[in-house]
Amino acid sequence: MDARLFERNLRRSTLIAMFVGVARSRKYGRSAIRAQPPPLNGSKYTTIKMARLNVNPTRMELRRLKDRLKTAERGHKLLKDKSDEMVRQFLVLIKENKKLREEIEGEIADALRSFSLSAGAPLEVVQAIALPTLTATINVGTKNVMGVDVPFMQTARVGDVDLPYALCSAPAELDDAILKLTALADRLLHLAEVEKTCNMLADEIEKNRRRVNALEYVMIPQFKETIKYILMKLDENERAAVVRLMKANKNS
């Protein structure tokens, strides 16, 4: 029974000391301090200071901080909307990338299977395959996706696909493999373009998320706490001026 009474008195005295310290800090113009009563197991509690900028508590500074707070909130909303739209486009590109990769990997596997079946082709045919019979032009540029310059490629072929060997000198599987790989060239370039776009958008989404978090959890709370502090100081100055006027009138 005595132990419980001692713990109750200890908690009561701790709360009284905490409220007296907060009132004293407000009286002398310090930033407000959040404190929690210590647990009964004897461990120490930590005090957390609210974020506040080191500025002079004047009306001009108050107006400037309100303008900065309004700009920060507007920028936070714009960056948040931009991040949502970038994530939406990123998900669309990821689905397209997955579909393209699965289709191209299946077609490449079929082409390689045909190559393996035509392993008995003569040496002249193998040497003839290395000779180019088709000319292609690739135009590389950039396009803007939500403020990010991503690659953009266009291909143009000159001529038709021509097998550089006699049809009777090679198996049919080799013809099939060459035609399949030639048709896959444009799709491989498109797959590379989509994958690079996904990587660049992922990096930009991460950067934009850091900006949003910095505004939401650092800058905007600092501005709000500083504005609250300046308003409190201005109210204290006004009350002090009223008290001085009352004393002056009383003495006169």
Lowest pLDDT segment from 93-97, 120-124, 149-153, 219-223: 120-124
Q: Which residues contact 42 (CB under 8 A, 6 or more apart)?
A: none
Tokens of 38: 């210590």
**Domain range summary for the chain, segments of one domain joined by +:** 1-50
> Which tens digits make up the pLDDT trace of 158-204?
666 666 655 555 666 666 777 777 778 888 888 999 999 999 999 99
Within a 10 A sphere around the Cβ of 194, how many other Cβ atoms? 20
Longest Cα–Cα distance of the chain, Å, equals: 125
Tokens of 166: 């006699």
> Which tens digits make up the pLDDT trace of 26-55?
444 444 444 444 454 444 444 455 578 888
Measured over the CA atoms of residue 104, residue 105, residue 109 and residue 110, the dihedral's sign is negative
Tokens of 182: 């030639």
Query: Regarding predicted confidence, which is higher, 245 or 63?
Result: 63
**Quick check: 174 and 125 in contact, CB under 8 A?**
yes
Separation of CA 98 from chain center: 22
> Which tens digits make up the pLDDT trace of 87-136?
999 999 999 999 999 998 888 888 888 777 666 655 555 555 666 666 77
Count of residues making up the chain? 252
Q: What span, in angstroms and rounded, lies between the C-alpha atoms of 102 and 91?
A: 17
**182: enclosing H helix or E strand:** helix 172-214
Entry pTM:
0.64
Band of residue 62 on the pLDDT scale cut at 50, 70, 90: very high
Band of residue 70 on the pLDDT scale cut at 50, 70, 90: very high
